[in-house]
Amino acid sequence: MTQSFESVAPATGEVLGRFPRSGAADVDRAVERAKTAYEEWRLVPAPERGAVLFRFAELLRTHKDELTDLMTREMGKVKAEAGGDVQEAIDMSYYMGGEGRRLFGHTTPSELRDKFMMSVRMPVGVVGAITPWNFPIAIPSWKLAPALVCGNTVVLKPAEDTPLLADRFVELLAEAGVPDGVVNVVHGFGEEAGDALVRHPDVPVITFTGSRETGIAVTKAAADHLKHVHLELGGKNAIVVMDDADVDLAVEGIVWSAFGTSGQRCTAASRVIVHDAVYGELQTKLVAAAERLRLGPGWEDETDVGPLINRAALEKVHSYTAIGKDEGAKLLTGGEAAENGGGFYYKPTVFADAEPGMRIAQEEIFGPTTALIPVRSFDEAVAAANSVRYGLSSSIYTRDVNRAFRAMRDLETGITYINAGTTGAEVHLPFGGTKETGNGHREAGQAALDVFTEWKSIYVDYSGRLQRAQIDNAERPAPR
């Protein structure tokens, strides 16, 4: 009998459903279906593939409330954020749908007469997509919409914490007109189904979003087949607040970036680097704002902060409170779980007087915990911001345009915000990070197409004779 696992509501501990715990044999079957479907799907004109994505976007709009509600239950984020998650998938599907009528290549003149040259994007084949639970509708759309419009087929291994949402996502794709076999789901655990997908010889592309540690394991497992591996990994994002900042605006941005989605965003602001001149004022205002936040189930209108995803996450986040105290940082507020109907709640937590090298200022906590780091200058702030292994998002609050431009240049992250928090990406710019947040690829925008296509350069010689590049034209005089 197939083994199974449960999806559990983080706000209550209630079991929402049981799902097959797939293994290598299930992955083999899914890849085989995707391989067969590829031979037809790659030949469907790209505008038609795009039209399917338009219909998908329309269906997501129709089902937005249902998906939002389900997300508050299965993943736990609050209603407004869950709606934003679905909206991101809507936006991405429209955007990539439009790509069906672009997918631009290049033409360029040849050095020889009567010869034509162009480059075109070709699909790669079966894409293995492995996704986390924190954006359970948005992230599958970042991967599947570009993969599909480019003519690939997909095997999706969604996170084991959000299988219900993944199923609804794929059902709506089928309803939109994605043919059988073009998108296939394997549920199950990372080390089983996920690893089998990464190692499968007939899956030439792996697109993975998750933790840095899993990203390293995925890269190693994919190496034997020299696969294309696209990684979107963790972050240790900083908000810099300068002495000339609008402190009230900065506090709003910090609260949204540090405690939104209970800190479970790759772009969460888990460090706040603050100029000495406003350090006292910011501490007081931030603590007051954090203590005003109401914890509760995501589906209740008055909730500001929902639960963490599961018990293991709660324990991990709490362990960082002990680590921060041991390191000598000062706990200003929070630092403990909050009892609330069997859910995995953790109080918004603020540490002060952290030093850039402390573990709470270096490691991804993935919970509602942020650390204030005092600095005396802009240069010190930038050095502290850059002192981590990750490079996803950064932000600076300042009214000085020169400082803002220096920050845009010097902060070593894939995304930088000026006078806004570290979170708030839109679908038509590249999304991703530098350093150990990834491996140089980007999701979203035009950049995403590079993950899901191979360039093919095509030369058409219509001279009717042998023409040798670099040889037959080598002796031509240089223009004067």
Q: Which residues bind ligand NAD (CB under 6 A)?
A: 130-135, 157, 159-160, 189-191, 194-195, 198, 209-211, 214, 217-218, 232-235, 266, 364, 366, 392, 437
Could you tell me the smallest distance in angstroms from the CB atom of residue 157 to ligand NAD? 6
Which residue lies nearer to ligand NAD by CB, 395 or 437? 437
211: Cβ contacts below 8 Å, ≥ 6 apart: 132, 233, 234, 364
Could you tell me the smallest distance in angstroms from the CB atom of residue 389 to ligand NAD? 12
Could you tell me the smallest distance in angstroms from the CB atom of residue 405 to ligand NAD? 26
Residue type, 396: I
Q: In sequence order, what DSSP letters do the residues of 136-200 get, joined into one string?
A: TTHHHHHHHHHHHHTT-EEEEE--TT-HHHHHHHHHHHHHHTPPTTTEEE--S-IIIIIHHHHH-
Which residue lies nearer to ligand NAD by CB, 123 or 234? 234
Q: For residues 270 and 458, give the distance between their C-alpha atoms in angstroms, rounded to a whole number.
A: 48
For the question of residue 150 being annotated catalytic, the response is no
The CA-atom distances, in angstroms, between 287 and each of 91, 254, 334, 399 are 35, 11, 9, 24
440 exposed, middle or buried (CB, 10 Å; 0-12, 13-18, 19+)? Answer: exposed
From the list 136, 129, 208, 194, the residue with the least C-alpha distance to 169 is 136
117 and 105 in contact (C-beta within 8 Å)? Answer: no
Which residue lies nearer to ligand NAD by CB, 283 or 437? 437
Q: For residues 211 and 302, give the distance between their C-alpha atoms in angstroms, rounded to a whole number.
A: 31
For the question of residue 266 being annotated catalytic, the response is yes
Single out the catalytic residue among 81, 232, 364, 436.
Answer: 232
| 3-state SS assignment for residue 354 | coil
Single out the catalytic residue among 88, 150, 192, 266.
Answer: 266
> Among all residues, whose Cβ is closest to ligand NAD?
190
Could you tell me the smallest distance in angstroms from the CB atom of residue 177 to ligand NAD? 27
Which residue lies nearer to ligand NAD by CB, 392 or 420? 392
Could you tell me the smallest distance in angstroms from the CB atom of residue 16 to ligand NAD? 17
Which residue lies nearer to ligand NAD by CB, 208 or 397? 208
Q: Which residues are catalytic?
A: 232, 266
